[in-house]
């Protein structure tokens, strides 16, 4: 498989995961607002050629009831897994795309300039943590950040990841909601310890903004390539 095909696949995966994130969030909001469980819609099956699989209606009912009875501000199980899997998929695909010597990498380097390496390190950390994690509270493991830490020290870039992004400055072609729209993330790799909760390092809002930025960078690149 050549690098152009690999790039196309990676960028498509970023887009697909972002669509999944947006649609999953919609269904979460819908289930919290309306009682989706009825006697008529609980029997769900899927055909796999000659075989039919019956989904567990009791589990489905429990999940829907949990969403509907929870407060709108509480993160429920369905919502949690939609978000974490989407964040992981987006960052994984972006890291793989940026490892290729391709037009996309050149485009991102030109857009982010001196912040490119910090952006790559930020994506790598998210990908590593969410790929290796088996803890409900997403605790850090040394292997999640040690490679990035050592690479930064070898390159004399220091231990602190600092990434600041403002759409009006860095990506004006994407119409942002306001002139100040953007985010910043700072992570001191020296201060990270095993068993630290990941969401104490990066908040859900930061993860959402990182994911949105990845999607917008992909769309911007594709539009620039077409023109």
Convert the pLDDT of each residue in 162-221 to its tens digit. 999 999 999 998 888 999 999 999 999 999 988 889 999 999 999 999 999 999 999 999
* C-alpha span between 108 and 71 (Å, rounded): 40
The reported pLDDT for the residue numbered 211 is: 98
- Residue reference for tokens 């939609």: 82
pLDDT (mean) for 67-75: 88
Angle at the Cα of 206 from the Cα atoms of 106 and 97, rounded to 5 degrees = 25
pLDDT tens by residue, 75-127? 888 999 999 999 999 999 999 999 998 899 999 999 999 999 999 999 999 99
The reported pLDDT for the residue numbered 38 is: 64
The reported pLDDT for the residue numbered 130 is: 92
Question: Do 130 and 17 contact (CB within 8 A), yes or no?
Answer: no
The residue among 6 and 37 whose pLDDT is bigger is 6
Residue 226 binned pLDDT confidence (cut-offs 50, 70, 90):
confident
Q: Residue 46 — φ and ψ, nearest 5°? A: -140, 135
**pTM of the full predicted structure?**
0.91
How is residue 105 written in tokens?
């990498």
Min mean pLDDT across 15-24, 39-48, 218-227 is at: 39-48
Q: Whose CA is closest to 94, among 74, 124, 59?
A: 124
Residue 44 binned pLDDT confidence (cut-offs 50, 70, 90):
confident
Q: Residue 156 — φ and ψ, nearest 5°? A: 55, 40
Give the burial class of 182: count Cβ atoms within 10 A of its Cβ; 0-12 exposed, 13-18 middle, 19 or more buried: middle
pLDDT tens by residue, 139-158? 888 888 898 999 898 998 98
Question: Do 76 and 62 contact (CB within 8 A), yes or no?
Answer: no
Q: Residue 137 — φ and ψ, nearest 5°? A: -95, 5
* C-alpha span between 83 and 136 (Å, rounded): 14
């Amino acid at each position: 498989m050549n690098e152009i095909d690999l790039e196309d696949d990676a960028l498509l995966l970023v887009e697909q995961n972002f669509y999944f994130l947006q649609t999953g969030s919609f269904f979460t909001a819908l289930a919290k607002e309306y009682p989706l469980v009825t006697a008529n819609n609980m029997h769900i099956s899927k055909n796999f050629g000659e075989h039919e699989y019956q989904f567990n209606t009791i589990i489905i009912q429990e999940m829907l009831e949990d969403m509907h009875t929870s407060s709108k501000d509480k993160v429920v199980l369905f919502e949690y897994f939609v978000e974490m899997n989407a964040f992981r998929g987006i960052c994984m695909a972006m890291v793989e795309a940026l490892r290729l010597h391709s037009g996309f990498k050149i485009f991102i380097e030109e857009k982010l300039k001196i912040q490119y390496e910090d952006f790559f390190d930020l994506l790598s950390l998210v990908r590593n943590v969410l790929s290796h994690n088996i803890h409900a509270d997403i605790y850090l493991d040394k292997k999640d950040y040690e490679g990035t830490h050592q690479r930064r020290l070898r390159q004399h870039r220091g231990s602190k990841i600092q990434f600041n992004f403002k759409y009006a400055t860095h990506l004006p072609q994407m119409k942002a909601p306001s002139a100040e729209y953007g985010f910043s993330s700072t992570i001191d790799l020296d201060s990270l310890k095993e068993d630290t909760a990941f969401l104490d390092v990066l908040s859900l809002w930061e993860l959402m903004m990182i994911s949105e930025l990845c999607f917008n960078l992909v769309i911007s690149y594709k539009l620039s390539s077409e023109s």
